[in-house]
Amino acid sequence: MKKLYIETLGCQMNKSDSERIAGILSHFDYVETDVEKEADLLIINTCSIRQLSADKAYSKLGVWGKWKKSRPELKIAICGCVAQQDKEKVRVRAPYVDLVFGTHNIYQLPELIKKIEENEKVCAITNNPVVCNQNDFKILRKQDSVNAWIPIIEGCNNFCTYCVVPFTRGRERSRHPEEIIQEAKNIIKEGFKEITLLGQNVDSYGKDLKDKNITLANLLRDLNKLDGEFRIRFVTSYPSDITDDLINAVDECDKVCKYFHIPMQSGNSHILAEMNRHYSKEQYYEIAAKIRKRFPDVAITSDFIAGFPGETEQEFQDTLDAIDELELDYSNTAAYSPRVFTKAGKMIDKFIPEDIKYERLERLNEKNREVCLKSNKKFVGKVLNVLVEGKTEKDGVIVLNSRAGNNKIVHFVDDTKNIGDFVNVKITKAQTWCLYGESV
Ligand code: SAH
Ligand code: SF4
Ligand code: F3S
């Protein structure tokens, strides 16, 4: 038995990939460890969405490279979006790396791992994904969680001008519904209580397959029919790709959470056009209104970028106003970071000075805190069905940490309930990031 340590940066897709990498390597006698120092094989699964995350990958490699000086038999690998982007160039900064493999090469690991065990240095990056039935390999899911991820579509065809993902994940590729449904059945059998369907654009699911009936809406309907007590989520939605049929499916399917993560990115139509987002501010408002009308307790969350090249103070102000007017329930926020290969990355003369960018980010965060609290307060007095995800002890009392269908975090006390239970909770108190309640 050899020991494997994987460090995962970035989005849920990367976390899901790491579970698959650990699963594949378990067929080759690798056992996962949480202790970096005792590993025989160290893998960093990287993210390139912002420069800060890419830098993190290289500083980790630097630490591991030092360890390898005194333990030459130690193997070091890098994968994920930085690997896909930098390819052989990884070795310019980190020559001691044994294996570089791209986001499309995960299922080639059986042969790659043999090569590095024979002391070969390998760089495996392709733009043609290695395709296989993912159910042929084990998936080592995090067992301390009630949630399991299923990637349903990978890649992106949108080319938003700020975003590196189309370059690191390639074009959209959907998995076949039968394969996804089989994976879901395995997950339910293993005792997980929540399935999150993943995609850079989940709404595009099926568009690259021949059959018109293969859509996210129909996939939700099929998964909803599976036996067992569990619920289903899907992320991330692209505003103008959310169809009426999808909204109908979410409504029809009792297991599907009434929750939408729909990144808006900016509240100004000119900036949205500059970003190559295919909707205006008004179109986003229409979609959000339609969803809110249909699902009274729904939460709509978003992502925003502060300081996109050329963004004026007034245009930024439109973003703050949009967050208010849309009563968004939560937003991920980031300062614009120039990325290699992207159009916006070349708009150097329009770059916003760092101090202004970070000052805008701070105001964005302040607005986010304000609307989150407002959103949470709406739920005081209501009953939400929650799934218990964990427990913490506070002053000798066991507090259950749970999540409602609309993704709100709810804390409550009830010694008759356990991790994995669904419970109806009456909300009694709201704070910025969470709710408190009593089981009913
Ligand atoms: N597919 C999703 C987003 C994936 S990337 C969508 O279309 O919305 C996750 C988030 O990272 C994005 O929503 C965006 O807000 C942020 N992001 C992407 N590129 C960025 C960049 N260059 N600088 C800052 N934030 C960025
Ligand atoms: Fe990036 Fe845009 Fe694709 Fe989202 S839709 S992954 S932001 S290019
Ligand atoms: Fe990062 Fe790649 Fe995900 S760039 S956000 S790990 S798709």
pTM of structure: 0.97
Place of tokens 């899907």: 234
pLDDT digits (tens, 9 = 90+) for 148-164: 999 999 999 999 999 99
Q: What is the dihedral of CA 204, 209, 213, 217, to 10 degrees?
A: -30
Class of domain 2-124 as given by CATH: alpha beta
What mean pLDDT is predicted for residues 27-44?
A: 96
| Per-residue confidence (pLDDT) for residue 142, from 0 to 100 | 86
What mean pLDDT is predicted for residues 401-420?
A: 97
Q: Which residues pair with 403 in a beta bridge?
A: 387, 409
| Per-residue confidence (pLDDT) for residue 130, from 0 to 100 | 75
Distance 49 CA to ligand 3 centre (A): 6
Listed in sequence order, the residues at least 6 apart from 69 whose beta carbon sits closer than 8 Å to its beta carbon are none
Mean residue pLDDT across the chain: 97
| Per-residue confidence (pLDDT) for residue 8, from 0 to 100 | 98
Closest CA to 277 of 246, 223, 322: 322
| Per-residue confidence (pLDDT) for residue 144, from 0 to 100 | 82
First to last CA, the chain: 49
Does the CB atom of residue 158 touch ligand 2 within 6 A? yes
- The ligand 1 atom at the shortest distance from the C-alpha of residue 265 is 15
| Per-residue confidence (pLDDT) for residue 268, from 0 to 100 | 98
pLDDT digits (tens, 9 = 90+) for 124-148: 999 888 778 888 899 999 888 899 9
For a mutational test of ligand 1's pocket, the pick from 163, 274, 277, 361, i.e. the residue with the most ligand atoms closer than 8 A to its C-beta, is: 163
Report d(CA 394, CA 318) in Å as an integer. 42
Residue type, 63: V
| Per-residue confidence (pLDDT) for residue 55, from 0 to 100 | 97
Residue 436 in this model has a pLDDT that exceeds 90? yes
CATH, range 383-439: 2.40.50.140
- The ligand 2 atom at the shortest distance from the C-alpha of residue 156 is 3
In what side-by-side order are the strands of the sheet with 259-261? 259-261, 299-306, 330-335
Listed in sequence order, the residues at least 6 apart from 193 whose beta carbon sits closer than 8 Å to its beta carbon are 146, 147, 229, 230, 231, 387, 420, 422
Q: Is residue 398 very low, low, confident or very high in pLDDT (cuts 50, 70, 90)? A: very high
Report d(CA 404, CA 379) in Å as an integer. 11
Report d(CA 232, CA 254) in Å as an integer. 9
Contact 128, 104 (CB under 8 A): yes
| Per-residue confidence (pLDDT) for residue 128, from 0 to 100 | 83
Q: What is the CA radius of gyration of the chain?
A: 22
Share of the chain above pLDDT 90, in %: 96
Residue 409 in this model has a pLDDT that exceeds 80? yes
pLDDT digits (tens, 9 = 90+) for 200-229: 999 999 999 989 999 999 999 999 999 999
Q: Residue 373: in which H helix or E strand, if any?
A: helix 354-377
Report d(CA 120, CA 270) in Å as an integer. 51
For a mutational test of ligand 2's pocket, the pick from 11, 12, 156, i.e. the residue with the most ligand atoms closer than 8 A to its C-beta, is: 156
| Per-residue confidence (pLDDT) for residue 143, from 0 to 100 | 80
Cα 289 from chain centroid? 25
Question: Interhelix angle for 177-189 vs 216-224, to 10°?
Answer: 30
Question: Which ligand is nearest to the Cα of residue 307, counting in written order?
Answer: 1
Distance 48 CA to ligand 3 centre (A): 6
Does the CB atom of residue 249 touch ligand 1 within 6 A? no
Cα 330 from chain centroid? 15
For a mutational test of ligand 2's pocket, the pick from 13, 159, 162, 163, i.e. the residue with the most ligand atoms closer than 8 A to its C-beta, is: 163
Query: What is the CATH topology of the domain spanning 134-377?
Result: pyruvate-formate lyase- activating enzyme (3.80.30)
Q: Which residues pair with 427 in a beta bridge?
A: 437
Report d(CA 58, CA 89) in Å as an integer. 12
User: What letters, b where the CB count within 10 A reaches 16 and e where it falls short, cover 364-397?
Assistant: beebbeebbeebbeebeeebbbbbbbeeeeeeee
For a mutational test of ligand 1's pocket, the pick from 304, 305, 333, 357, i.e. the residue with the most ligand atoms closer than 8 A to its C-beta, is: 305
Residue ranges covered by each domain of the chain: 2-124, 134-377, 383-439
Does the CB atom of residue 287 touch ligand 1 within 6 A? no
Residue type, 341: F
| Per-residue confidence (pLDDT) for residue 129, from 0 to 100 | 82
Residue type, 265: Q
Cα 327 from chain centroid? 23
Contact 295, 380 (CB under 8 A): no
Using the Cα atoms of residue 403, residue 409, residue 413 and residue 418 in order, give the sign of their dihedral: positive
Closest protein CA for atom 1 of ligand 2: 163
Does the CB atom of residue 217 touch ligand 2 within 6 A? no
Supply the DSSP symbol for 320: H
What mean pLDDT is predicted for residues 319-328?
A: 98
Listed in sequence order, the residues at least 6 apart from 248 whose beta carbon sits closer than 8 Å to its beta carbon are 217
Cα 165 from chain centroid? 12
Q: How many CB atoms neighbour CB 307 within 10 A?
A: 22
| Per-residue confidence (pLDDT) for residue 110, from 0 to 100 | 94
Domains 2-124 and 134-377 in one fold: no
Listed in sequence order, the residues at least 6 apart from 365 whose beta carbon sits closer than 8 Å to its beta carbon are 333
Share of the chain above pLDDT 70, in %: 100
Listed in sequence order, the residues at least 6 apart from 301 whose beta carbon sits closer than 8 Å to its beta carbon are 259, 260, 261, 262, 328, 329, 330, 331, 332, 407
